[in-house]
Amino acid sequence: VQHEELSLPLYFGWFLLPAVQEKIRCTSMDFLKTLDTLEAFKKHLIDFTGKAEKEVDLEQYYKANGTLHCTTKFCNYGKVEGSKEYAQNPAVRSAYGSVFELSLTALFVTPRTAGARVSLTEEQLLLWPADAEKEVESAVAAAASLPQGSRAHITLGCAEGTEPVQTGVDLLQILALQKEGQQGEPLEMELGSLIYYGEGRWMLTLREPIAVPACFSSFYA
Ligand code: ACK
């Protein structure tokens, strides 16, 4: 139908309800603050600064960008392949406007992005595009073999000059390394266990996943 083509959004996704936005931003800042002070992190500062003696303030390093959300389908107003099909998918249409509970299972940072991993339920996976992981195949060779929904994340912040699309790519890269069994000694912290994956990539797997209510909807503008 003509009107539907005209109304394709920039992207579909789950948008955290206002009440939890603040809570997640605080959790994220606490994580960055803690990470910043760890000896293990300081040992690898050069990953972030390029210079051994330089300092970094992680809380300032990442710039927040807009409403916290978990993108399902990036449509770019219909320019992206499969956008129209996605918008017309009965599962998408019937879920539109409803509130889901997302489960955040890990927090991660790289020199480019900071994000939270979202572990999708079977029901939520019905809204996940089949090609989301394959799209980045060239960037992350092993990502193609990761399970559906592996890319699901909330971007918490991006370094100067980095676009938020990078957060999902960084997550897939970490998960690919994890799958290859490439990991050092986990550092046990209050929130969970922290692992360094080289090149400034750190992931904290939460002991207790954080449940956040989020509305499935779309973003224009
Ligand atoms: O942090 P994100 O998931 O990464 O949320 C933003 C949102 O769409 C608006 O820019 C995501 N995004 C941008 N480009 C793409 C893309 N090519 N594939 C998947 N997600 C994208 C971005």
CA–centroid distance, 161 to ligand 1, in Å, is 15
C-alpha distances (whole Å) from 81 to each of 74, 87, 201 are: 10, 12, 31
Q: Cβ(72)–Cβ(12) under 8 Å?
A: yes
Which sign does the torsion angle of CA 197, 109, 167, 132 carry?
positive
Collect all residues with Cβ–Cβ distance below 8 Å to 124 and sequence separation of at least 6.
Answer: 100, 102, 149
The catalytic residue positions are 69, 153
The pLDDT score that the predictor gives to residue 37 is 93
- What residues does ligand 1 touch, defined as CB less than 6 Å away? 10-11, 71, 74, 155, 164-165, 167-168
Q: What is the mean pLDDT of residues 141-157?
A: 87
Collect all residues with Cβ–Cβ distance below 8 Å to 105 and sequence separation of at least 6.
Answer: 117, 118, 119, 205, 206, 209
CB-count exposure of residue 76 (10 Å: 0-12, 13-18, 19+): exposed
Distance CA 185, CA 120 (A): 27
Residue 137 has pLDDT above 70, yes or no: no
Q: What is the mean pLDDT of residues 127-137?
A: 83
The pLDDT score that the predictor gives to residue 132 is 85
Nearest CA to ligand 1 atom 22: 165
**Predicted confidence (pLDDT) per residue in 163-185, tens digit:** 999 999 999 999 999 988 867 78
Place of tokens 């910043």: 36
Three-class DSSP labels, 154-191: EEEEEECCCCCHHHHHHHHHHHHHHHCCCCCCCEECCC
**Predicted confidence (pLDDT) per residue in 13-23, tens digit:** 999 999 999 99
Backbone φ and ψ for 75, nearest 5 degrees, come out as -105, -25
Share of the chain above pLDDT 90, in %: 80
The pLDDT score that the predictor gives to residue 2 is 53
Ligand 1 atom nearest to 135, measured from its CA = 18
Residue 156 has pLDDT above 60, yes or no: yes
For a mutational test of ligand 1's pocket, the pick from 165, 166, 167, 220, i.e. the residue with the most ligand atoms closer than 8 A to its C-beta, is 165
